Structure 1
Amino acid sequence: MLEQKKGKLVERLKQFREENKLKQKEMYEAMQCSQAAYSSYENVKSDKVPSIEMLLNLHEQYDISIDWLLGIDDTETIKKKKELKTIGDIIESLFLIEDATQTSISAMEETRYDLSYDGAKPYDVTLYGLCFESNFYYGEYLNDFMKEWNETKEFCRGKEIGTTMYELWKKDIIQKNKNKNIDPFDDLPDEGLPFITEQDTL
């Protein structure tokens, strides 16, 4: 029985690492153990197993289910917590959103009359925002969200309990949309978005 549980743990540690393209170094640093110790945890012939504290550390870093790791829950979705640390990470995430939703993200341009940094002279500043092409599958939903997001921020700004209200709204909007699955198109032309034309969709 113990050998079976050890085997399942070995299998799922390695599965999680490979599916999320992690190096062993990232795993043992997350678990806060040595390189040698982690290598033994991925070796089915070793009798060493990580402590509960190490598994909790891994859970905190990558939001991975401990029950799934131990083979208790076979239906648990593996999730990797991705931190956005660079501008490149943010840009990559926008590309991922566009690919996943099969919508086209476009830039909105707005010029505002603003003050210079030192307050000496006014000047025009051009700002760019995002909009989602409403003629595509998810554009309407995403644009509705962007509108509500903007209105909520404006409503909460400057209020004494504004931060609390905003955090509650965030949790609520996420929960409301959890059951709306993304179903990519199967019949897009080879060139795909964002270069698809209206004629191609007919």
Structure 2
Amino acid sequence: MNEQILAKRLKELRESMNLTQSQFGDLINVAQTTLSSYENGSKTPNIDTLYNIAIKCNISIDWLCGLSDIHKTKNFSSYSDIFNLIVNICKSIHIDIEEYHYSQDEYDMSLIVKNPILNEFLTKWSKVKAIYDDKTIDADTYEIVVKSLIDKYTTDTLKYDNFVIDDMHFSFLSNE
């Protein structure tokens, strides 16, 4: 964890919420003087405090600690959050981008997944999403089924795989 980034992001978070140090300290259950020491980098909050901040402020601990540029793990606040996520996924899994032109002004873009585990998940998820979209199941059931699908892949760890593009070698993570 980079303490300078953590200090900067804590202050940035507090200021984005338009709170004083005292108000933010009350929110996260720390004294104003403790928060001040976090923001100036002379102290580092423990994991329980970081977790508390993440939950109460609806932000990602990874962002807070400087491990990610994505502020939130759910309910993205801007296209930038989504774009950062896509770029980071493409750093981990081999995904091609294809463009289909219909006319000069009309075209579609597609992400082509080259990972069999991700393809398997996407196939299963698309079936569940289809029955949710046609209102065969409600939102609560959809969330439970999707969580169950995701949980099945907890033990599937990513492994490096090499491939070649235009005579340049790249290493991407893959389960193959």
TM > 0.5 fold call: yes
The correspondence for 2:91, drawn from 99, 102, 105, is 99
Inter-CA distance 82–106: structure 2 relative to 1 (3 Å threshold): same
1:68-127 deviation line (CA, Å, top 9, x unaligned): xxxxxxxxxxx87732322222222112111112x123337598xxxxxxxxxxxxx754
2:36 equivalent in structure 1: 39
Residues 108 and 130 in structure 1, CA contact (< 8 A), matched pair in contact too: no
Larger Rg over CA atoms: 1
Name the CA distance, whole Å, in 1 between partners of 2:117 and 2:50. Answer: 38
CA RMSD in angstroms, aligned pairs only: 4.4
Matching of residues 31-70 of structure 1 within 5 Å: 32-33=24-25, 37-41=34-38, 43=42, 57-60=52-55, 61=57, 62=59
Residues 109 and 127 in structure 1, CA contact (< 8 A), matched pair in contact too: yes
Name the CA distance, whole Å, in 2 between partners of 1:127 and 1:181. Answer: 32
Residue 18 of structure 2 corresponds to residue 23 of structure 1: no
Deviation at 1:43, TM superposition (A): 3.6
Q: Write the letter of the residue equivalent to 1:191.
A: M
**2:98 alignment partner, SS class:** strand
Unaligned runs of 5+ in 1: 1-14, 65-78, 112-124, 134-138, 197-202
Identity of aligned residues (%): 19
Of Structure 1 and Structure 2, which has the larger fraction of its residues in strand? 2
Inter-CA distance 186–38: structure 2 relative to 1 (3 Å threshold): farther
Deviation at 1:162, TM superposition (A): 2.8
Deviation at 1:175, TM superposition (A): 0.8
Number of matched pairs:
143
1:85 equivalent in structure 2: 77
Deviation at 1:171, TM superposition (A): 0.7
Q: Please report the TM-score for the alignment, with normalisation by the length of structure 2.
A: 0.56
Matching of residues 113-132 of structure 1 within 5 Å: 127-132=108-113
Unaligned runs of 5+ in 2: 26-30, 62-66
**1:159 alignment partner, SS class:** coil
Q: Write the letter of the residue equivalent to 1:168.
A: I
1:171 equivalent in structure 2: 147
Q: Please report the TM-score for the alignment, with normalisation by the length of structure 1.
A: 0.50
Name the CA distance, whole Å, in 2 between partners of 1:147 and 1:23. Answer: 38
Name the CA distance, whole Å, in 2 between partners of 1:86 and 1:100. Answer: 22
Q: Structure 1 residues 29-38 or 84-93, which shifts more?
A: 29-38
The correspondence for 2:158, drawn from 182, 189, 193, is 182
Residues 125 and 149 in structure 2, CA contact (< 8 A), matched pair in contact too: no
Name the CA distance, whole Å, in 1 between partners of 2:158 and 2:87. Answer: 15
2:168 equivalent in structure 1: 191
Residues 60 and 71 in structure 2, CA contact (< 8 A), matched pair in contact too: no
1:144-164 deviation line (CA, Å, top 9, x unaligned): 222222221112223364322
1:2-45 deviation line (CA, Å, top 9, x unaligned): xxxxxxxxxxxxx465576853403656881287542335546x
